[in-house]
Amino acid sequence: MSKTPASPKGKPGPKSQPRKAAAKPEAGASPEGDRIAKVLSRAGVASRREAERMIAEGRVSVNGKKIDSPALNVTAADRISVDGQPLPEAEAPRMWLYYKPTGLVTSNSDEKGRKTIFDELPEDMPRVMTVGRLDLNSEGLLLLTNDGGIKRKLELPSTGWLRRYRVRINGRPKDEDFAPLRKGLVIEGEKFQPMTVSLDRQQGANAWLTVGLREGKNREIRRAMEDIGFTVNRLLRVSYGPFQLGDLKPGEVEELRPRVVRDQLGLEPEEETPAARPTRSRGGKPAGRPMGKPAGKPSGKAPGRPGKPAGKPADPRGGRPAQRGGGKGPGGKNPRR
């Protein structure tokens, strides 16, 4: 009877090797695609926050199934619908400069029934979102965009772009009265970052100031002035970072050139196509599209040359050259040219 030869003395026989397990995805690896709220925002449906509310209300479906959580990544292969309608293709990022008049609320709707800026924007405008806010009695430059990513980027405190205002207060202040604002205030437990304040001129019972800040807290300038004993009776924003109000009149809108938007925000280049002139006012001929739906192609018209803000009830320039360019913002020269 034959036997299997033994291994040489001192050397163990060969052992069978275990089969290698199939590779598994690394723990913590990011799923493909983008968050659903970001995709909805990019398509101009709503801001991210609004998109999350729409999802919670069951208004959004992915591949025929309603979703109730924004914690979902989607790709171009997914079929997305909102209120039963397919998601429109994302438009190229666009931005507009808007002179917000006083008496309008900066919101999509108002619980008190007051008019909003969206009630007064030109009818041929696509659906847009505001970058930050201006309160009811404030006026001047308000940035509009069709892209939720741009809105979020410009509103982040880390962006730190200087917002410059012409401010009229009642009283006869001295320059040293504004020292607390330059150092930074704490009002009712809320910390206000230091502001730049210059006393420009006295006009009768009022004084004109130029104020710069890098935050956007609710009624920040009015509250700060009240804290040091002065009342603001006119407030006009003249610049937001490199973007300037220029010669816009109350209620007018001008679109920025696509190249300006790309250069100022560091976006990837896209092929530009010729387009119609930008909308200037609500009184123009409607484009036949209701508010909230995409309109025509981006405008190729350069915004107008900067000048003094409109309105002569009390000259906000105060007899001095207008403050230009938002200080040393990232844009340098006027990006509207």
Residues whose CB falls within 8 Å of the CB of residue 332, separated by 6 or more in sequence, listed in order: 242, 325
Give the catalytic positions in this structure: 135
Q: Residue 257 to residues 57, 82, 87, 225: CA-CA distances in angstroms?
A: 37, 30, 26, 37
Residues whose CB falls within 8 Å of the CB of residue 78, separated by 6 or more in sequence, listed in order: 33, 62, 63
